[in-house]
Amino acid sequence: MSKDIIKPENLVYRRTPVLTKNTMHYCPGCGHGTTHRIVAEVIEEMGIQEQTIGIAPVGCAVLAYNYFEVDMQEAAHGRAPALATAVKRLKPDFFVFSYQGDGDLAAIGTAETIHACNRGENITMIFINNGIYGMTGGQMAPTTLEDMKTATSPYGRDIAMMGNPLKITEIVAQLPGTCYVTRQAVYTPALVRKCKRAIRQAFENQKENKGVSFVEVVSNCNSGWKMTPVAANQWLEENMLAFYPLGDLKVSK
Amino acid sequence: MKELRLMKGNEAIAEAAIRYGVDGYFGYPITPQSEILEHLMAEEPYKKTGMVVLQAESEVASINMVYGGAACGKRVMTTSSSPGISLMQEGLSYIAGAELPCLVVNVVRGGPGLGTIQPSQADYFQTTKGGGHGDYRLITLAPASVQEMYDFVGLGFDLAFKYRNPAMILSDGVIGQVMEKVQIEDYKPRWTDEYIKKSFPWATTGKNPGKPHIIITSLELDSEKQEKVNIHLQKKYKECQEKEVRYEMIHCDDAEYIFVAYGSSARICQKAIQLGREKGIKVGLLRPITLWPFPSKILGELAGKVKGMLSVEMSAGQMVEDVLLATKHKVKVDHFGRFGGIIPTPQEVLHALETKIIGG
């Protein structure tokens, strides 16, 4: 193959410089890698790499700081919105985003999530919901569906015993401090493009100090769900989206 | 221009923070230190110096806001009292692990549990021996006056930034609530973003073109590397122990007996010394100002010169363990304490010296 085809006009895809060259540790088929990429592409396209600080969670994305080529802070479990609050207030000209999973954002960090949203911090919160604790080996999450089997609900989530799956995104949409609350997914190319537009909006809102922009990404966990990547995406569409329907929950003018 | 003001210890902390050019305060109300947040809100420092003041939803949120601000190279602080400080231990461990500078003030009340809102010194172990998980230390300053409450805000930040480690002011409900005259300083400007970026290359101040991004984390999954992180921390703590020990000696020159006491207990001991000397008992006071690093060397030296030492604390006996370690059983050491919010009288303290050390 001739090298002359490597020309700008032939370029259809390239790695964004807002991602490092580190190999991601995410399982093949996992939505984290795609979500990382589109967040990074948004940062690149907005030209804000040097004015962005990201907050990584505890969970599968704990090492997100190794992948985003922006200044990063790694928070204690659930506390990313508290860190983001301080960073944004002390550096109001910066773009600040937190990146959390369901256990981090909707279980141990519920108070930090609710209060950062209620105060109307001018930050972007990215929330990956795959209904399971991936990093610790597939335990029940606050968002685990009824009857869903996990390592700590081996016979399925029994609502009477274990409580209900939590729709935290619907809760934060009720709070006056949020300006944009949306639920997206990244398991098809069309949905990736749509999710990227939502993330772009969520970052653009920071320019206008409108409050929290909250993007839930309903994702998969083929390792934790014990399925092939393809089967996991089918299961996501049939089960997760039935309980967590996609779309905007709140768009403030 | 120096100005004298009559202030509560808690107000002195708040006023010192504004005037020292602190960038951010994040806190949650708890007795007996709520005047700190109240004073800050009343003074509106965000209009004077640009200082951020935020009432957080919990002490857990407060200490993690401190983490986020400190990671940006900003001078940030929180304050609380014992139960709230317990909630902050996870965050303090992360801050120490990530080597971030910050200031935390504990206006100690009696415990355990919800305990009492009255003064105590029962958080000595928590502060100087750990509190959170892992091998780390807090640089701990123990003020014995409202003036020291004021002065140690600046000193605490200076030490925290020198060693990239959290500093703690371990106060108590007496020093927090008592009013004394304080010499206050003029307003110092806050550090500019340019100064922070230039001075603290470790901080997340925005990626520099052509340079790697900055990562603030306490995580290192490779045990070989994590051991190196710990060795580095221990080296730093050793340097701190060599250079930063602070203490005050009162009437120690001719002393046959020594009170070892910090904070408000040291003030009570000063009166007990006067009463003792009126009775012909040659007693002095060694007041640790840094509880960590602890003034072990001077106590070891005094152990060869005096007949006995009494560690006086508003606790069941915590600092006395460090006195015993420092004096290596070369001299008689005992402890006298009241707890649960009871403040000992000078007469009680002197009586304890007479019965436990002199006559014991």
Q: Please, what are the domains in chain A?
A: 28-251 (3.40.50.970)
Residue B192 reports pLDDT greater than 60: yes
Confidence of residue A8 (pLDDT cuts 50, 70, 90): confident
Q: Is any Cβ of chain A less than 8 angstroms from the Cβ of B208?
A: yes
- As for the ipTM of the complex, it is 0.96
Domain co-membership, B60 together with B132? yes
Confidence of residue B1 (pLDDT cuts 50, 70, 90): low
Confidence of residue A1 (pLDDT cuts 50, 70, 90): low
At residue B103, the 3 state secondary structure works out as strand
Q: Are A133 and A140 in contact (CB under 8 A)?
A: yes
Domain co-membership, B175 together with B290? no
Average pLDDT, integer, range A112-130: 98
Task: Measure B63 CA to nearest chain A CA, in Å.
Answer: 9
Confidence of residue A36 (pLDDT cuts 50, 70, 90): very high
Task: Measure A55 CA to nearest chain B CA, in Å.
Answer: 9
Average pLDDT, integer, range A98-126: 98
> Best mutation site among A89, A98, A105, A108 for testing chain B: the one with the most B CBs within 10 Å?
A89
Domain co-membership, B149 together with B290? no
* CA atoms of B338 and B8, how far apart (whole Å): 24
Mean pLDDT of chain A: 97
Closest C-alpha among A186, A196, A157, A137 to residue A29: A186
Domain co-membership, B35 together with B176? yes
Domain co-membership, B136 together with B29? yes
Average pLDDT, integer, range A182-191: 98
Q: Determine whether the interchain pair A71/B67 forms a contact, defined as Cβ–Cβ distance below 8 Å.
A: no
Average pLDDT, integer, range B248-264: 98
* CA atoms of A43 and B289, how far apart (whole Å): 49
> Best mutation site among A58, A79, A90 for testing chain B: the one with the most B CBs within 10 Å?
A90
pLDDT of residue B301: 98
Residues of B in contact with A95 (CB under 8 A): none
* CA atoms of A173 and A117, how far apart (whole Å): 9
Q: Is any Cβ of chain B less than 8 angstroms from the Cβ of A111?
A: yes
Q: Is residue B58 part of a domain?
A: yes
Chain A residue closest in CA terms to B212? A69
Percent of chain A at pLDDT > 90 equals 94
- Domain of B251, in residue numbers: 247-358
Average pLDDT, integer, range B175-188: 97
Angle at which helix B146-163 crosses helix B223-243, to 10 degrees, equals 140
pLDDT of residue A7: 87
* CA atoms of B289 and B135, how far apart (whole Å): 23
- Tell which of B173, B193, B213 closes a domain: B193
Task: Measure B83 CA to nearest chain A CA, in Å.
Answer: 18
Q: Is residue B112 part of a domain?
A: yes
Q: Is any Cβ of chain B less than 8 angstroms from the Cβ of A117?
A: no
Q: What is the CATH number of the domain that holds B48?
A: 3.40.50.970
Concatenating the DSSP letter of every residue in B296-313 gives HHHHHHHHTT-SEEEEEE
Per the omega criterion (within 30 degrees of 0), is the bond before B346 cis?
A: no
Q: Is any Cβ of chain A less than 8 angstroms from the Cβ of B49?
A: no
Task: Measure B204 CA to nearest chain A CA, in Å.
Answer: 5
Residue A3 reports pLDDT greater than 90: no
Residues of B in contact with A91 (CB under 8 A): 72, 193
Residues paired with B334 in a beta bridge: B310
Chain A residue closest in CA terms to B61? A82
* CA atoms of B230 and B143, how far apart (whole Å): 30
- Tell which of B158, B193, B228 closes a domain: B193
Q: Determine whether the interchain pair A53/B204 forms a contact, defined as Cβ–Cβ distance below 8 Å.
A: yes
Residues of B in contact with A71 (CB under 8 A): 204-207, 213-215
Domain co-membership, B164 together with B75? yes
> Best mutation site among B67, B194, B205 for testing chain A: the one with the most A CBs within 10 Å?
B67
Residue B334 reports pLDDT greater than 80: yes
Residues of A in contact with B26 (CB under 8 A): 86
Average pLDDT, integer, range B265-285: 98
Confidence of residue B7 (pLDDT cuts 50, 70, 90): very high
Domain co-membership, B253 together with B188? no
Q: How many domains does chain B have?
A: 2
Q: Determine whether the interchain pair A72/B214 forms a contact, defined as Cβ–Cβ distance below 8 Å.
A: yes
Confidence of residue B163 (pLDDT cuts 50, 70, 90): very high
A192 — phi, psi (to 5°)? Answer: -60, -45
Q: Is residue B260 part of a domain?
A: yes
pLDDT of residue A251: 98
Q: Determine whether the interchain pair B24/A87 forms a contact, defined as Cβ–Cβ distance below 8 Å.
A: no
Domain co-membership, B158 together with B52? yes
Confidence of residue B101 (pLDDT cuts 50, 70, 90): very high
Q: Is residue B306 part of a domain?
A: yes
pLDDT of residue A153: 97
Q: What is the pLDDT of residues B142-159, one digit of tens each?
A: 999 999 999 999 999 999
- Tell which of B152, B169, B193 closes a domain: B193
Closest C-alpha among B228, B358, B241 to residue B296: B241
Average pLDDT, integer, range B226-255: 98
Q: Is residue B238 part of a domain?
A: no
Q: Determine whether the interchain pair A85/B65 forms a contact, defined as Cβ–Cβ distance below 8 Å.
A: yes
In sequence order, the 6+-apart residues with CB closer than 8 A to the CB of A66 are A20, A22, B215
* CA atoms of B360 and B356, how far apart (whole Å): 5
Window A:80-99, CB contacts with B under 8 Å: 82-87, 89-91, 94
* CA atoms of B161 and B273, how far apart (whole Å): 37
According to DSSP, residue B259 is labeled: E
**Position B344, amino acid:** P
Q: Are B105 and B76 in contact (CB under 8 A)?
A: no
Domain co-membership, B271 together with B347? yes
In sequence order, the 6+-apart residues with CB closer than 8 A to the CB of A105 are A57, A78, A80, A81, A113, A125, A127, A168
Q: Is any Cβ of chain B less than 8 angstroms from the Cβ of A64?
A: no
At residue B43, the 3 state secondary structure works out as helix
Q: Is A242 exposed, middle or buried (0-12, 13-18, 19+ CB in 10 A)?
A: exposed
Q: Is residue B15 part of a domain?
A: yes
Residue among B58, B67, B74 whose CB faces A83 most closely? B67
Q: Is any Cβ of chain B less than 8 angstroms from the Cβ of A21?
A: no
Confidence of residue A253 (pLDDT cuts 50, 70, 90): confident
Q: Is residue B64 part of a domain?
A: yes
Q: Is residue B19 part of a domain?
A: yes
Domain co-membership, B19 together with B143? yes
B349 — phi, psi (to 5°)? Answer: -65, -45
Domain co-membership, B251 together with B188? no
Mean pLDDT of chain B: 97
Q: What is the CATH number of the domain that holds B285?
A: 3.40.50.920
Antiparallel, parallel or unpaired: β B283-288 and B332-337: unpaired
Host H or E run for residue A86: helix A80-90
Domain co-membership, B152 together with B293? no
